[in-house]
Amino acid sequence: MARRTAASSYDERDVRVRPGRGSRPRSKLRPAHADATPALVIAVDRGRYTCVLDGRTVTAMTARELGRKAVVVGDRVGLVGDVSGAPGTLARIVRVEERTTVLRRTADDDDPVERVIVANADQLMIVTAVADPEPRPRLIDRALVAAFDAGIEPLLCLTKADLADPAALLASYAPLQVPAVVTRLAPGSPIGVGEVAEHLRDRATVLVGHSGVGKSTLVNALVPGADRATGQVNVVTGRGRHTSTSAVALALPDGGWVIDTPGIRSFGLAHVDPGRLILAFPDLAAETPACPRGCTHADGAPECGLDAALAAGRVDPARLASYRRLLASRDLQAGDWDA
* Residue type for position 274: P
Contact between 136 and ligand GDP (CB under 6 A)?
Answer: no
In order of 94, 118, 144, 270, 274, the CA distances from 3 in angstroms are 22, 16, 22, 14, 18
CB contact set of 158 (below 8 Å; sequence gap of 6+): 128, 129, 130, 166, 169, 170, 180, 181, 182, 183
| Contact string 64-103 vs ligand GDP (x = CB under 6 A) | ----------------------------------------
Contacting range for ligand GDP; rule: CB under 6 A; set: 91-99, 215-223, 243-251, 315-323: 215-223
**DSSP-assigned letters across all residues of 16-59:** HHSTT-SSS-HHHHS---TTPEEEEEEEEETTEEEEEETTEEEE
Is 231 labelled as part of a ligand binding site? no
Contact between 297 and Zn ion (CB under 5 A)?
Answer: yes
Q: Which of 92, 184, 324, 330 binds ligand GDP (CB under 6 A)?
A: 184
Measured between its terminal Cα atoms, the distance across the chain in Å is 30
Q: Which of 216, 261, 296, 322 binds ligand GDP (CB under 6 A)?
A: 216
Number of residues binding to Zn ion, judged by CB under 5 A: 4
Contact between 231 and ligand GDP (CB under 6 A)?
Answer: yes
Contact between 216 and Mg ion (CB under 5 A)?
Answer: yes
Contacting range for Zn ion; rule: CB under 5 A; set: 72-80, 135-143, 216-224, 293-301: 293-301
Q: Which of 142, 215, 265, 330 binds ligand GDP (CB under 6 A)?
A: 215
CB 156 within 8 A of CB 179: yes
Cβ proximity to ligand GDP, 115 vs 184, nearer residue = 184
Contact between 25 and ligand GDP (CB under 6 A)?
Answer: no
Cβ proximity to ligand GDP, 137 vs 151, nearer residue = 137
- Alpha-carbon distance of 330 to 96, in angstroms, equals 31
CA dihedral 197, 199, 202, 207 (to 10 degrees): -80
Contacting range for Zn ion; rule: CB under 5 A; set: 25-33, 87-95, 135-143, 298-306: 298-306
- Alpha-carbon distance of 148 to 75, in angstroms, equals 20
| Contact string 239-258 vs ligand GDP (x = CB under 6 A) | -x------------------
**DSSP-assigned letters across all residues of 211-272:** TTSSHHHHHHHHSTT-------B-TTTSPBP----S-EEEE-TTS-EEEE-TT------TT-
- Alpha-carbon distance of 211 to 161, in angstroms, equals 17
Contacting range for Mg ion; rule: CB under 5 A; set: 2-10, 128-136, 198-206, 211-219: 211-219
| Ramachandran bin of 214, using left for φ above 0, alpha for ψ from -120 to 50, beta for the remaining angles | left
- The one-character DSSP state at 329 is H
Q: Which option in Zn ion, Mg ion, ligand GDP, none does residue 231 bind, with CB closer than 5 to 8 A by kind?
A: ligand GDP
Q: What angle do CA 21, 22, 27 make, to 5 degrees?
A: 95
Contact between 7 and ligand GDP (CB under 6 A)?
Answer: no
Max Cα–Cα distance, the chain, nearest Å: 68
Cβ proximity to ligand GDP, 209 vs 305, nearer residue = 209
Contacting range for Mg ion; rule: CB under 5 A; set: 37-45, 197-205, 213-221, 316-324: 213-221
Q: Which option in Mg ion, Zn ion, ligand GDP, none does residue 295 bind, with CB closer than 5 to 8 A by kind?
A: Zn ion
Which residues line the annotated binding site for GTP? Answer: 159-162, 209-217
Binding-site positions for Zn(2+): 291, 295, 297, 304
Binding interface with Mg ion (CB under 5 A):
215-216
Q: Give contact residues for ligand GDP (rule: CB under 6 A).
A: 159-160, 162-163, 183-186, 209, 211-217, 230-232, 240
